[in-house]
Structures are given as C-alpha cells and as structure tokens.
Amino acid sequence: MKLRMLRCLRHSKTHTHDLESTAVAATANTPEQIKQQCNDMQKKFQEPIKILLLGTAESGKTTIIKQMRILHINGYTNDERRDQIPEIYQNIHESVYQLVQHMTILGLEYQSCASRNSAAYIMSLGETAPEYMDEEYCDHVMTLWNDLGIRTCFGRSNEFPLLDSTKYKSFDFLDNFERISDYDYIPSTEDILHSRKVTTGIHKITFRVKIPKTLGGGEQEFRMYDVGGQRDQRNKWIQAFEGIQAVLFLISCADFDQSLREDPLQNRLQEALNLFRGVWQNRFLASAGIIVFLNKQDIMERKIRTGTHIVDYFPEFEEFCNSPQAENYFDECDWTKKFIKQKLIDITQEPVKRPSRNKMDYSKRECYYHFTVATDTSCIRKVFNDVHQMILHEHMANVALL
C-alpha cells in the first residue's frame, strides 16, 4: 500500500523512466561502471525535494513551517523567542479590539461601567498593539475578558473573523494573559505555534532529514515554500510552481461556519474547496503530487460538541449522511470529516478544463489525505515521517534498489 502511495511524490514520468533505463543498463556493465552508476543515482537520490504549501489564509501553512523548524532545525533560541513577542502582543490586542468592535455591531451590552471604560480605552489605541503591556493596559484587558457581554460576543465569534488563538482551544492567549504580560515573559514553543502573522510574498525554509542506514544513510534536503493565502496574494503563487515535486494543500476543517475576512459573504470552507479545484486542475502542477492536510480537526470537534453543525451551512450534509456509505458512523464529528473529504474526492473526479501539455491522464492521478492538528508537534512529526518515508522508498524503487 505504501509503495503505491509513493507515486504522489514522483518527480515526473520522464525522470522515472530515465532512472529505470539506467538501472537496466547497469546490469550489462562492468563492476566499476556499475559502481559509478550507483554513485550517480545516489546523487540524484539526494537532490533537494521541493514542497509547496498552498491553501486559504489561516489554514495553518505557516504553522507547518514553524513545525519543520522545531523538528528539523533545533527550534528557537531564547533571543528568537523574544523576537516573537510583538507578534503575540498584536494577536492579543487584535482579538480584544475585534471583540469590543463587534459588541456594538451585535447589539450587546457590557456588564459594568468599568467594562465600558475599558472598551473605550482599547478603541482609543486603534488596531495596533502597544509596544509594552503596562499595568494600565493589562487591567483593561482583564476587565474586558471577565465581562459577560464580551464572553457572549466571544461565543458568537463565527459571525466575524477572530483569531483561532483566541477561541475554541484548551490553550489561548487571553486565558494565559497574566503569564504573557509578565515583564520577564519568554514565549513558549506552544505560544509561537499559536501566534499568527499574515504571510505576504513567498517564504522558504530549508532543512535536512536523516536517511535510515538501511536505505543508504546520509541526509535528504527539503525546501519548503510558504505563500500567502489571501486572495490578493494568490497571483504570486505561480512564481513558486517551477520544480515543485509535491504540494501540501491545507484546509481548515473548522472553517465551515465562518466567512472570509476579504469577503464576508463567502463561506471559508467553500472558498477552500474552490481553491483546491484550481490547484488540482492547474496544468503547471500536473506532475506534482498532491497531499491534503485536513487541518484544525480539534477546533472542528469542539465546535460540534458545543452545538455548531455543518448542516446549517452545507444543507447537502443531511443527504450525504442518509446516502449509502461504505462505512457507517455514529459520531457527528466523523461524519463531518468524511463529508469534507468526500467533497475533495468529488473535485478530483471532475473533468479537467485545461489538460496539461504532457497529456497527463488525470483519472490515474492520486490525492492523499491526512487529518491533522498543525499546532500538535507529535501529530506533524508522525505525518511528515510518513511523507518522508514515501519519498525515500519511491527513490529507491526508481533506481531498482528495492
């Protein structure tokens, strides 16, 4: 099964055929020639693997980049952790500012005069966080966070764009505000993973992963590219398409009840599905393997457990649950994951509007799916190890060593 899955990360048909022809030719050569050819193939085997991260904004792409740094580049030094403080402060301030802003929009009332004064103070600062969190600022934030009106607004946050680091998690910045506002605060790894900064342009991370001795030893170089997911950033994506062997497409499972920041009338999950269709059918990515990370399943499950249901936003979910299935589920979370995955599968089976120049047969192309929690390092370690092993086995199979 695993070897069959490896095809999603092949370089190209031409490259594979070249390697196979070389391996066959090697059987008729002298031992010295065979040794040289094996060395040449080993060099090809160790060429950098280029992976492109795609998906809508806030789907978790940058978090994957951070995880690669934690797993493969020794994480963050204390100085680098301190460099993350302004970003975390901005996340907190932006969240409080949005909650205060939407109190009026949603017609909600504050619990006390003190809360109203604190709201006025936050609004007077504007959208940019203060450089330092002094005592006055901290008192106002805590007053607001303990206000029943703000908590009610927080409970309706699917009606406006609020950062995931503020909601639906056992961990969030506002519940940890006292620790974060301390003068000697140094961000933890979890803080860094939960922080968010809008990605603009193209960002690259290079790292090396050890190859098991049973597969020849040494190291494999990976180059992973992160591009902004906002609509106004997608025109830059094509600049990163050249030489890409695999695409990791991230979709937030938890976005089924939210709208885009850029377009309040567009459902976020539907936007992600539309975007996936464009990536799957893009002729410049026809030879690249596609792996989908169905991310933020932890947040999705918390939403469902607290009474938010995908059927209210995708009415066809009810029909899907009543249709004949290969597997029956009793849990709504499992049905929701199955439904979203089936949406993607259906897209891969649609007729291609603009076939690739190499006349690729899309009916034989495969797409692979993983349900992930990008902020969970153990989860990402396991998933990436699977991806890495697939790459290693594919290369070895290509050079006839398996």
Residue ranges for the known binding site for Mg(2+) are: 62, 199
Handedness of CA 370, 373, 379, 380 (dihedral sign): positive
What would you measure as the largest C-alpha separation in the chain, in angstroms?
89
Strand, coil or helix: what is 50?
strand
Residue 49 parent element (H or E): strand 49-55
DSSP 248: E
Question: How far is CA 142 from each of CA 101, 133, 291, 386, rounded to the nearest angstrom?
Answer: 17, 12, 42, 43
Contacts of 48 (CB under 8 A, 6+ apart): 206, 221, 222, 223
Classify residue 311 as exposed, middle or buried by CB count within 10 Å of its CB (0-12, 13-18, 19+): middle
Annotated binding site: 58-63, 164-165, 193-199, 226-230, 295-298, 374
Helix (H) or strand (E) holding 268: helix 268-280
Residue with tokens 């301390």: 182
- Beta pairing, strands 219-227 & 202-210: antiparallel
What phi and psi values does residue 285 have, to the nearest 5 degrees? -110, 15
Residue 111 has a CB neighbour count (10 Å cut-off) of 16
> And the tokens for 26?
């090697």
For residue 55, what are its two tokens?
């998906």
Known binding positions for GTP? 58-63, 164-165, 193-199, 226-230, 295-298, 374
Residue 207 one-letter amino acid: F
10 Å Cβ neighbour count for 24? Answer: 10
Q: How many CA atoms lie within 13 A of 346 on its CB side?
A: 9
